[in-house]
Structure 1
Amino acid sequence: MSPALPVGDPAPEDGALPPSAAVGAEERALALYLHVPFCRVRCGYCDFTTYTAEELGGTGSGSSRAGYAATAVREVEMSGRVLAAAGLPARPVSTVFVGGGTPTLLPPGDLLRMLEAVRDVHGLAPGAEVTTEANPDSVTPGSLAELAAGGVTRVSFGMQSAVPHVLATLDRTHDPARVPDVVRWAREAGLQVSLDLIYGAPGESRDDWRRSVEAALACRPDHVSAYALVVEAGTKMAGQVRRGELAPPDPDDLAAKYEDADALLGAAGMAWYEVSNWAARPDARCRHNLSYWRADDWWGVGPGAHSHVGGVRWWNVKHPGAYSARLERGASPAHGREVLDDDARLVERVLLGVRLAEGLPVTALPPEGRAQVAGVVADGLVEPGPGGTPPGRVVLTARGRLLADGVVRRLLGW
């Protein structure tokens, strides 16, 4: 795990937000992210804020699974006070996402206690989407049924691969044969199902990758996410690559595997709605992640969690002990923050909006970017308008999705 936190300004002790955070809030959705920082085993590629029992040493209530839900509830309660004090209107939460780590290492009752706090403090909008991540080996039919009965609507399983040697390279410990079972259990509980895949692991062939996508499709999920492996600094895998024990991901191989996934998923009736995400139906799209890509407001609860409200972004301390200690004395767990200026918000809108199948209005681009639209259309990176005319919205072609970062730079006039 990388120890670094973003560089920013010190966060105020009470977590107070500037008045600018309230501007336009009534037009933005409010989402809650609940981070559970515990894993049984640390995967070699992972740089998320997660800890095994051995890393935490089992000392202190803030470092224990047993005391975590109560600590997280304190931050949920703080979120209500801080947003109200900043003058933001009361808004029911439209989506809740419980991520990690492995949230389902906690008992279902603990996860539902955190969800109940969100409901008590903010309320849940009618039809709110409530997702929990889970590893295939961390759930049972009973635990999934209990989560569904308590208000969870969706589960995202970390499948990653169907090929044992690929899972071993990634340090994943579940049996791939278990995935169809957990999907069935989730469906029997009434939950929507998403499967997460990773491509580009060292030693993974294209046949391996296609086998994984086909195995995922055989489960008939509502949603699939497919992410290219990134070797993050400070991880076990980065050390293995540096020492020559593993080969780094090859960009051409990653591009080919993305095209394979898009073709297989598309043929099965799953449509892309964001560069790395496909859904069987419009109502199966992950609304929580769409809140990120559309620059809505979200509050991230937990060690290392990030938040964004009205152009103010902040991030929490990473260690569960430090996180708990701050909340116990009534202080914000935020370590640092930044207030985005107009230029930064424009960059983020273009960077995130272009990744969506709905695209971005050309009028949202800076003048120098609008001048580039005809060029990216001519280069086959952006869909043309009717009759080949310049489009009213920037929507990436299949080739444009492979080169999305370069398209963004051109549309920003860089």
Structure 2
Amino acid sequence: MPSALPLADPAPDDGMLPPSVLAGAEQRDLGVYLHVPFCRVRCGYCDFNTYTADEVRGVKQSDFADQAIAEVEFAACVLRESGLPPRPARTVFFGGGTPTLLPAGDLARMLDAVRERIGVADDAEITTEANPDSIDAAGLERLAAAGFTRVSVGMQSAVPHVLAVLERTHDPENVPRVVAAAKASGLAVSLDLIYGTPGETEADWQRSLDAALAAEPDHLSAYALIVEPGTKLARQVLHGQVPPVDDDLHAVFYEALDARLADAGYDWYEVSNWARTPDQRSRHNRAYWTGQDWWGVGPGAHSHVGGVRWWNVKHPAAYADRLAHGLSPAAGRETLDAETRRVERVLLEVRLREGLSTDALTPLGRRAVAGLIADELVEPGPALRGTIVLTLRGRLLADGVVRRLLPD
């Protein structure tokens, strides 16, 4: 089952935000995330807040769009009544779960609600995630007609035995068909890959890269497999049914990935993300990495506005019940102090191609920079000018770089 929510202060039933969120609001972008918590099958490695039909008895997928719309209306009221200036959403992102398990018409209605209640910028980036077997050409055309601009396809691998370990059920041959259909509909396309699955060889990984590049996506995300506690995969590793993840092999796969993508004309802009051009980078994810505002709609969705962070109740039934009674679906929230916000800035911005300003570091953290240069973990030129930019070696060891920049 999904991991537990963090502990924090109770969230007010009316959802109202404190006056502190008003400071600098005009300079911050607003995004909207809509979490659709349904999947056909729960993948063994996944600890996201998702549910199969057997796990949500008494909750109907067909009711979800109306519930999400109710939260959008609630959000619009809270943002307005809290005194925040009107800001159309610069990005809207449908994630999950598998949003495209819902009819395209439901996704369109949810987007229309954001447009009508909160506002959507004329040049907004509007993305939905999709599995290769959960969308077809007709559905993609309907989404494009509704105003979607981008689709993120969960490819993960092109190799059947790797997909089997991950318990991904799609046919890898569907990936190029979905990409071609999305492009024909005028949608930008991102592919998601996972590397380092137990049993995956270097030849397997090269085969997946061959297939991904042959599809010619605009954007590509690739993540090292993490065996999350409490997942089926974690139990399989514990009991010796599946070999453990090999961190050294992760590094080999990442270096191969970066080299192949660079040769194909993709530039890295975040440790796990590459795009053909700056315009094709994920603006929604960048909002997370740079501390902008976003409202998360749906069970278990997280939100952040002006240093206040909150998260919704996780189960779809509890979520629906609170909204039906006119209550905030939030389960808890916290107000971040200045030091916590600084630490989070270091954690996130150091992963970006633009780098992290040394202004975000304490004197002790700044003294660590010379050692990071000597160890070839950060680029010397930018560092000497006051910006920490990771080298390829630094990207492989990004967590270690952060620990040195945030000494105890």
TM-score (norm 2): 0.98
Q: Quick check: 1:189 aligned with 2:189?
A: no
2:398 partner letter:
A
Match of 1:20 in 2: 20
CA shift for structure 1 position 34 = 0.3
Give the match's secondary structure for 1:215: helix
Deviations 1:245-269 (A, max 9, x none): 0112111011111111111111111
Whether the aligned pair in 2 keeps the contact of 1:28 and 1:297 (CA below 8 Å) is yes
1:23 partner letter:
A
CA shift for structure 1 position 3 = 4.3
Deviations 1:70-108 (A, max 9, x none): 000011111111112222111010000000100000000
Match of 1:176 in 2: 172
Q: Choose from 373, 398, 404 the match for 2:398.
A: 404
Match of 1:349 in 2: 345
Deviations 1:208-235 (A, max 9, x none): 0111012100000000000010111111
Deviations 1:307-365 (A, max 9, x none): 11111111111100000000000000000111110110000001000000010111222
Structure 1 unpaired stretches of 5+:
none
CA shift for structure 1 position 371 = 1.6
Give the match's secondary structure for 2:295: strand
Q: Quick check: 1:319 aligned with 2:315?
A: yes
Give the whole-Å Cα distance in 2 for the aligned partners of 1:371 and 1:23: 32
Structure 2 unpaired stretches of 5+:
none
Match of 2:2 in 1: 2
Whether the aligned pair in 2 keeps the contact of 1:196 and 1:226 (CA below 8 Å) is yes
Percent of residue pairs identical: 65
Deviations 1:19-49 (A, max 9, x none): 1111111111000000000000110000111
Give the match's secondary structure for 2:126: strand
1:22 partner letter:
L
Match of 2:214 in 1: 218
Whether the aligned pair in 2 keeps the contact of 1:377 and 1:390 (CA below 8 Å) is no
CA shift for structure 1 position 373 = 1.4
Whether the aligned pair in 1 keeps the contact of 2:311 and 2:331 (CA below 8 Å) is yes
Whether the aligned pair in 1 keeps the contact of 2:3 and 2:48 (CA below 8 Å) is no
Give the whole-Å Cα distance in 2 for the aligned partners of 1:47 and 1:198: 15
CA shift for structure 1 position 370 = 1.4
CA shift for structure 1 position 408 = 1.1
Give the whole-Å Cα distance in 1 for the aligned partners of 2:51 and 2:260: 35
Give the match's secondary structure for 1:375: helix
Give the whole-Å Cα distance in 2 for the aligned partners of 1:408 and 1:3: 25
Whether the aligned pair in 2 keeps the contact of 1:383 and 1:391 (CA below 8 Å) is no
Give the match's secondary structure for 1:330: coil
Q: Quick check: 1:116 aligned with 2:112?
A: yes
Give the whole-Å Cα distance in 2 for the aligned partners of 1:82 and 1:316: 15
Give the whole-Å Cα distance in 2 for the aligned partners of 1:15 and 1:366: 35
1:262 partner letter:
D
Q: Quick check: 1:373 aligned with 2:369?
A: yes
Q: Choose from 101, 126, 131 the match for 2:122.
A: 126
Give the whole-Å Cα distance in 1 for the aligned partners of 2:210 and 2:346: 33
CA shift for structure 1 position 385 = 1.4
Give the match's secondary structure for 2:354: coil
Deviations 1:289-319 (A, max 9, x none): 0000000001100001001111111111110
1:155 partner letter:
V
Match of 2:248 in 1: 252
Match of 1:161 in 2: 157
Match of 1:304 in 2: 300
Whether the aligned pair in 2 keeps the contact of 1:314 and 1:336 (CA below 8 Å) is yes
Match of 2:87 in 1: 91
Q: 1:373–1:391: structure 2 CA closer, same or farther, 3 Å change rule?
A: farther
Give the whole-Å Cα distance in 1 for the aligned partners of 2:7 and 2:400: 25
1:126 partner letter:
D
Task: Supply the RMSD in Å over aligned alpha carbons.
Answer: 1.0
Q: Choose from 196, 201, 209 the match for 1:200.
A: 196
Give the whole-Å Cα distance in 2 for the aligned partners of 1:391 and 1:381: 16
Q: Choose from 131, 148, 154 the match for 1:152.
A: 148
1:360 partner letter:
L
